[in-house]
Structure 1
Amino acid sequence: MAVQYGLRTKDASGAITLDTSITPIRSLKMFTVTGNGSLDQYISVPEIKAGSFAVVDTLVDQGENTWTPQAWYSAGTLQLRRPSSLTWQVMVLSQGLEPLGSGSYGIRTLNNGIRTQIDAVNKVLSVAFSGSFLLGGPGTSFIQWGDVNFPAPITTTERPLIFLNAVDYMMAGSFYVKGSPGNWTGFRLKAWPSSIHGSAWTQYMTIKWFCATYQPDAGVVGQYGAVVRDANGIKLFATTTNLASLLTQPATTEFSAVGPPITGGSAGYSPSQQMNWTGSYDDYVLANALFSCSNIAQTTTPIKQNYGGWWPGNRSMLQMYCYNASGIDPLTSNGRTLFAARPMRPL
């Protein structure tokens, strides 16, 4: 057995509740930016380092037409495509390579080269709620929308991050989170199945999900585990929390124009984009930016639906489409922050 460095805690049953050989997702900084109406806006963000990544999200609920801009990032710079003049929430996330701030409270471990850092700045992303629902289905029994209400509101300013999975086939989009800053109440997701994907499109899709947030867990540790608090005694983390763990580097530029488009009927023309996926049915994908709509601005119907998921029996590839009324490709799925993640402990 390899020598272990770091921190591991267990509960009364002996189940591991924290293992620093698994690096959780942390937030270095959460802030807002305002669009200037240009086609491409470049914003200086010194907190984006080589090992960081960014999620750009909306702070409004516009129902089915809720949209987010395409976003790319490099060290020190955030690029937004058609941000309009709206305000956007930016979360700069990291794998824990940044130094501790002056006067910070928390823990830091190094476990065979894997870093874990939990403090007042580098907050862990934890699983608040989870569940499953059906979408699609045969004929008159077709379920167009999955409508989820959280057991209790999420009270953070930023929208909670929703991660999606499926038992097998999934083609869905038009995603949005219900509520407003400080009172996020649930989310909705629309079925977009197509006969191009084989017979699975006439069957129900079983969608699995979990909601991850930086809102502190109110659970009590009891006699087992560990708690991290800040200088004011406010709980930052407890090992009763189920962490959302990053499994692959996030991607904003890895989609390629591969595969046949979906054409005809209400689908109009939806060009196909694909990227390599993990191959595992245990991995969830971030929905917030990838499955929300885009705004191409210059047409009479500027809101365009992004939808996709996985073909039946295939987790080696992530499939996305962008609805368009004509045969001209207005958008690709690049510029959409996505990554594979899973709960540290089974749901």
Structure 2
Amino acid sequence: MDLYGLRTRDASGVVTLDTSITPIRSLKMMTVAGNGSFDQYITIPEIQAQSFVVVDTLEDRGENTFSPQAWYTPGQLQLRQPQSLTWQVMILSQGGEPFSAPGSYGIRTFNNNVRTQIDAVNKVLTVHYNGGLNIGFQGPSSGTQIQWGDVNFPAPITTYERPLIFLNAADYMMVGNFYVKGRPGNWTGFRLKAWNNHGAHGSTALHPMQIKWYCASYQAPNTPTGEYGASVRDAAANRTFVTTANLALLNSQPAANAFIGAGNPITGGGGYYAPSQQMPWTGSYDDYVLANALFSCTNIIQTTQPIRANFGGFLPGNRSILQMYCDNGSGINPLTANGRTLFASRPMKPF
């Protein structure tokens, strides 16, 4: 079996990049403008059959921050009720596309279906910060609930686009109302809300949710003097990739890209109803889920409850499915969680 590609090590001899075993997806960022229609179709040739596309907001509206429902097919993006706002579109490739223009800079390898593409246009995601949160009920007898998790980054992320926040948990996780704090060029942290429900999910939901997170962006980190490795720069000498960074690997996708109605809804007094939706997940406790679009609210505009909170995560002891609900106080016009705006990820190097 022939292996082609690139391998780098640090000063201690530890491998920092091996393209024969580490697939890396490249990332193209762009923005689109809503035209106020109910359904808007936008031609984007860069979307290919095996692309993953995430549509995100560029705004901070607090806990009511919302992203539109979005679907995509090769060459086309569909947005539902995009209003007249500007939306962030992230196209994640498998590394098989040609370089975008003559004179592009980069590295491409193909090793027995392990693909790596790093270039000056389609950048890679780099892990910048990571940490943990303890939210939710603090024990069956404590009577205490920490409803919000609030994170401030050590320093702002300075990209125009919002950074991507990935979540994992020791076991049970049920969160929603996610948003990134700040504004384009100055993203300062994120917040999310605990939605644990012991009536629906048993006694585990009465205990703290131990959540792990990391923040990834295509903003390239600085390389300390004396570090070993390889880097890629664009024509303007801006660094687009460096092997000393910890990359967010995008190589573990769910088995399906859509949610179906499955599981029991959450019901309550006054006609409260949150429909249950599920999709197959990876089965691995090492995989993080992208929070940006999945756990943000949806705005359906022409109703008495226009802002709908999407909440969900992982059921106790089960990583074979991803569980989602849509908060719906009236039981009318329930929404379906958008499965085509998420993917699984994990850091290349352990924290």
Q: TM-score by structure 1 length? A: 0.95
Q: Is 1:303 matched up with 2:307?
A: yes
In 2, Cα distance between the equivalents of 1:66 and 1:204?
25
2:196 paired residue number: 193
Write the deviation string for residues 83-126 of structure 1: whole angstroms up to 9, x where unpaired: 11211111122111111221111211122232211111121111
In 2, Cα distance between the equivalents of 1:23 and 1:289?
24
**Pick aligned residue for 1:264 from 268, 271, 283:** 268
Q: Give the 3-state SS of the residue equivalent to 1:96 in structure 2.
A: coil
Q: Is 1:211 matched up with 2:215?
A: yes
In 1, Cα distance between the equivalents of 2:227 and 2:332?
62
Deviation at 1:4, TM superposition (A): 2.6
1:177 paired residue number: 180
> Please, which moves more after superposition, 138-147 or 196-205?
138-147
Q: Which runs of 5+ in 1 are unaligned?
A: none
Q: Give the 3-state SS of the residue equivalent to 1:279 in structure 2.
A: coil
Write the deviation string for residues 188-217 of structure 1: whole angstroms up to 9, x where unpaired: 010000121111111000010010101011
Q: Give the 3-state SS of the residue equivalent to 2:146 in structure 1.
A: coil
Q: Give the 3-state SS of the residue equivalent to 2:151 in structure 1.
A: strand
- How many corresponding residue pairs? 345
Q: 1:267 to 1:184 in 2, by over 3 A?
A: farther
Which structure 2 residues correspond to residues 282-297 of structure 1 after superposition, within 5 A?
282-297=286-301
> Please, which moves more after superposition, 248-257 or 41-50?
248-257
Which structure 2 residues correspond to residues 92-241 of structure 1 after superposition, within 5 A?
92-100=91-99, 101-138=101-138, 139-195=142-198, 196-220=200-224, 222-241=226-245
In 1, Cα distance between the equivalents of 2:340 and 2:328?
17
Deviation at 1:249, TM superposition (A): 3.7
Q: Is 1:12 matched up with 2:11?
A: yes
Q: Give the 3-state SS of the residue equivalent to 1:175 in structure 2.
A: strand
Deviation at 1:328, TM superposition (A): 3.1
1:277 paired residue number: 281
Contact 1:72 1:252 in 2 (8 A): no
In 2, Cα distance between the equivalents of 1:274 and 1:329?
18
> Please, which moves more after superposition, 127-136 or 325-334?
325-334
In 1, Cα distance between the equivalents of 2:216 and 2:261?
31
Give the CA RMSD over aligned residues: 1.7
In 2, Cα distance between the equivalents of 1:285 and 1:243?
15
Q: TM-score by structure 2 length? A: 0.94
Structure 1 segments of 4 or more deviating over 6 A?
none
Q: 1:215 to 1:223 in 2, by over 3 A?
A: closer
In 2, Cα distance between the equivalents of 1:231 and 1:306?
42
Deviation at 1:329, TM superposition (A): 4.5
Q: Which runs of 5+ in 2 are unaligned?
A: none
Q: Is 1:326 matched up with 2:330?
A: yes
Deviation at 1:268, TM superposition (A): 2.6
Q: Give the 3-state SS of the residue equivalent to 1:124 in structure 2.
A: coil
